[in-house]
A and B are shown apart, each in its own frame.
Chain A
Amino acid sequence: MNEEILHPVMNMKWRYFKQRLFFGAVRLSAFVITFALLGILAYILANGFRAITWEFLTQPPTDSMTKGGIMPAIVGTLYLTVGAILVAMPLGVVSAIFLTEYAKQGALIRIIRIGVNCLAGVPSVVFGLFGLGFFVVFLKFGSSILAGALTLGILILPTIIGAAEEAIKAVPQTFREASLALGVSKWNTIFRIVLPSALPGILTGAILGVGRAAGETAPIMFTAAAFFTAVLPKSIFDEVMALPYHIYVLATAGTHIEETRPLQYGTVLVLIALVLGIDLIAIIMRSTLRRNKRW
């Protein structure tokens, strides 16, 4: 205690040292995260790019899935992801509108919010089992695009609700007041003023949702994904192949696991590219919207 007072200079040195130490640690963790991400991407790219051929992207698998392409899985994942978004977006946005604009803040709303947050923390395999029990068996959808998209839709619902709520809350109250003061109904105010202004933020939620929906394996394992189909689905009641499940199958369940390694890397690469592609569309939409909506 006394020493610190008697030797202020030493004390300062110690403080500087501590400061440098902490900054160093912070910097280091940022680097570690970035390198981990880049490392994974580089590794997949290095191992996967040789598998990417025109045939790989446009043909179904052949020879017990040791050769050929992954086209059915690409198409299946696209269907499932778009389907999940179509399910979760309207439901999520409407829920967010209810939570932020209509519901009286109180016990009920708190319980709903806790429920939404809990939903976000539920392991994805539980969603898979729920989808199996409810959509596949109880509603008799069978293992199908419909059941898979609904299951994935519920899985990403909390993400969409959360993002939409934040986006709606961020719309200035003055916009609502201006509209209501003109004798415009609350519904029209929300639909024509609040939602358009909140759209960029809602799209952010959609982007996060796409990433999750496209990449999840467990929820579609029981509800939508086929081990192998050479044909494309004809209706939403058909099974599909899906990229994450295909990777899982190739890496664990096949008889030629080592042989198909390049195909596995290639499929991972395609999955990542697909997610980035869908995200890119949403990001471009969002930035165009933002340019038009400045306040």
Chain B
Amino acid sequence: MEKDFIIRTKNVDFFYGAFRALSDVTVDFEKNKVTALIGPSGCGKSTLLRLLNRMNDLIDGTRVEGEILFEGRNIYAPDVDPVEIRQRIGMVFQKPNPFPKSIFNNITYAPKLAGIRDRGEIEALVEASLKQAVLWDEVKDILTKSAMTLSGGQQQRLCIARALAMKPDVILMDEPTSALDPISTAKIEELIDTLKKHYTIIIVTHNMQQAARISEYTGFFYLGKLIEFNATEKIFTNPDVKQTEDYITGRFG
């Protein structure tokens, strides 16, 4: 069966000023799978992730070369609106970053601006998103309370629910559990496992066990280069490249 790749990068170079953060990264992300990006700090994995929904646009003095295709279309083409790209490719950050608004309004903020006005539709969307993020039962009676009153793990699930409410195709996760305790981490990992039925998930993680547990594919980055991209099982049992093995077995990194 032909594999369905939702995002493909072709020979991507990325520069912060004169510093080359990524060189010649070519990688294909399969639809409705979890792909993990691993590697030591500063290896470029987060940079690549933030390129996929044009979040690096926010940083002055950066430059992208090569192509990043989302459903066959280069998202860095001049006629592409990054806002539209970000509506279809959501993102969850390292530290939970809910808005200082109520739980309800955290979810409805972006969909309302995208044009959903009907009250019933909005309420249904809030419930569906929170259920998908396995947060509904914990917050259904406190929807009007500030999101800042939730625990870190709950806040992160709220951020996932908030991203889901935009009904994206892809969800990018930038070390989503590194600020959370083990129980919250387990909950998020479970959540990722159920979400992949409907969404493509690309996750950056420092935690190799996490990559091994939740992903189908893993890419190993080192010094801005994609060293190896393979099925997760292969990477963690019998990697093709020596450097990958050294990193995974803890010999460096």
Contacts and interface: CB of A to CB of B under 8 A. Distances in A.
Interface stretch (B94-102, B195-203, B237-245): B94-102
Interface stretch (A59-67, A87-95, A178-186, A206-214): A178-186
Nearest to B163: A182
A192 interface: yes
Contact of A179 (B84, B99, B148): B99
Nearest to A183: B87
Interface string A261-293: 000000000000000000000000000000011
B113 A188 contact: yes
Contacts of A175: 97, 99-100
A168 B21 CA distance: 30
A293 B100 contact: yes
Interface residues of A, number: 23
Interface in A148-201: 172, 174-185, 188, 192-193, 197
Contacts of A197: 100
Given A175-B99, A295-B100, A180 B113 contact: no
Contact of A184 (B93, B98, B109, B148): B109
A252 interface: no
Contact of A178 (B60, B87, B99): B99
Interface string B102-128: 000000011001100000000000000
A294 interface: yes
Given A184-B110, A294-B100, A178 B93 contact: yes
Given A176-B58, A192-B109, A294-B146, A183 B86 contact: yes
Interface in B40-98: 53, 55, 58, 60, 83-88, 90-91, 93, 95, 97-98
A2 interface: no
B166 interface: yes
A294 B114 CA distance: 26
Contacts of A183: 83-88, 90, 110, 114, 166
Contacts of B98: 178
A105 interface: yes
Question: Which secondary structure dominates where chain A touches chain B?
Answer: helix
A185 to B, nearest CB: 5
A174 B100 contact: no
A178 B163 CA distance: 9
A122 B146 CA distance: 45
Contacts of B55: 177, 180-181
A104 interface: yes
Nearest to B149: A294
Nearest to A197: B100
A105 B163 CA distance: 31
A180 B86 contact: yes
Contacts of B90: 181-183
B226 interface: no
B148 A182 contact: no
Nearest to A171: B100
Given A183-B88, A183-B166, A188-B113, A105 B60 contact: yes
B99 A193 contact: yes
B168 to A, nearest CB: 8
Nearest to A176: B58
Contacts of B88: 183
Contact of B110 (A105, A177, A182, A292): A182
B60 A182 contact: no
B162 interface: yes
A182 B166 contact: yes
Given A180-B86, A184-B113, A174 B93 contact: yes
Contacts of B95: 174
Q: Please provide the 9 A-B residue pairs with the shortest distance between their CB atoms, ordered closest to farther.
A: A183-B87, A182-B110, A181-B91, A183-B86, A174-B97, A178-B97, A293-B100, A295-B100, A185-B83
Interface of B: 53, 55, 58, 60, 83-88, 90-91, 93, 95, 97-100, 109-110, 113-114, 146, 148, 159, 162-163, 166
13 contacts: A174-B95, A177-B97, A178-B159, A180-B86, A181-B163, A182-B162, A183-B110, A184-B83, A185-B83, A185-B113, A294-B146, A294-B148, A295-B148
